[in-house]
Amino acid sequence: MQLSTEINTRLATLVKHFTHGNAAAFARSIDVVQQRFDRLLKPDRKSGKYPMVKPEIVEVIMAQYPAINRIWLLSGAGPMLHDAQDPQTTSYGFSSYGVPYYPTDFIHALELVTQKHAESIGYYIDFKSFNHADFWCHITGRSMEPEIASGDIVAMKEVLDRENDILYGEIYGMVTKNFCTIRRVAKGNSDDQLILIPANKSAEYAEQEIPRAAVERLFQLLCCVKEL
């Protein structure tokens, strides 16, 4: 699973590439006040952290520089530009090439995939390293892991051999008769049991052990792209 790092450093890379390191010129090109843009390139003196890059900044950058690979800008995965000769090259489109993205949460996306509602596909994501996924969708509600937040986009792949192909310690979306959830999975106290590990470590959120046979469908979370 891949997670995003700070995109602020990638903004500096864009400045260097498109305006030869001139941050003022780049800010003008996207019609953003220079002082506001400059703040995004420098970490806070006290905390050492970069300020948050708001979604509207990403959108104006993508509108002005459509050759930029959005996945790279958001997560650091793949090449910076769409036309880069790299197996990671990623694009969005409606040409049915790549993996379908459903603009909804895992539970509803699974219903749409199962019922083959092609008209519900938002677009296709051609992300070479994860084109073996079955679909992309959103994480919504309370996060299952500290590093995964509501709104993040994830690639899901169904595990057909649930007896042998579970990688313990990884995050899975699962469907049982009684619930549908996304949890990190560990080996149970016996071979026919699985342990679901909660992200919340408070005492009231205990690990849950369930029969392996209770899992009707299982999907591995292959990749997570952070929402800004």
Q: What is the pLDDT of residues 142-196, one digit of tens each?
A: 656 666 777 788 899 999 888 888 889 889 999 998 888 888 999 999 989 999 9
Is 4 a residue whose pLDDT tops 50? no
Task: Give the model's pLDDT for residue 163.
Answer: 82
Return the amino acid letter for 195: I
Give per-residue pLDDT as tens, 71-88. Answer: 888 888 778 887 544 444
User: Please, are residues 53 and 228 in contact by the beta-carbon 8 Å criterion?
Assistant: yes
Name the residue among 45, 40, 42 with its Cα closest to residue 57.
40
Cα–Cα distance between 99 and 127 in angstroms, integer? Answer: 8
The answer to whether the predicted template modeling score (pTM) of the entire model surpasses 0.75 is no
Other CB atoms within 10 Å distance of the CB of residue 153: 19
- For strand 135-138 and strand 153-158, is the pairing parallel, antiparallel, or unpaired? antiparallel
- For strand 90-93 and strand 180-187, is the pairing parallel, antiparallel, or unpaired? unpaired
Cα–Cα distance between 97 and 115 in angstroms, integer? Answer: 20
Unique residue bearing structure tokens 């996945």: 71
pLDDT, greater one: 39 or 116: 39
Return the amino acid letter for 192: D
Unique residue bearing structure tokens 């997560």: 75
From the number of C-beta atoms within 10 Å of its C-beta (0-12, 13-18, 19+), residue 212 rates as middle
- For residue 53, the SS3 value is coil
Give per-residue pLDDT as tens, 24-56. Answer: 888 988 989 989 999 999 888 888 888 888 888
The domain 99-225 is placed in CATH, from the list 2.10.109.10, 3.30.930.10, 3.30.300.30, 1.10.3720.10, at 2.10.109.10
pLDDT, average across residues 198-204: 71
Other CB atoms within 10 Å distance of the CB of residue 170: 13
Name the residue among 145, 209, 151 with its Cα closest to residue 183.
145
Is 10 a residue whose pLDDT tops 50? yes
Name the residue among 21, 23, 50 with its Cα closest to residue 34.
23
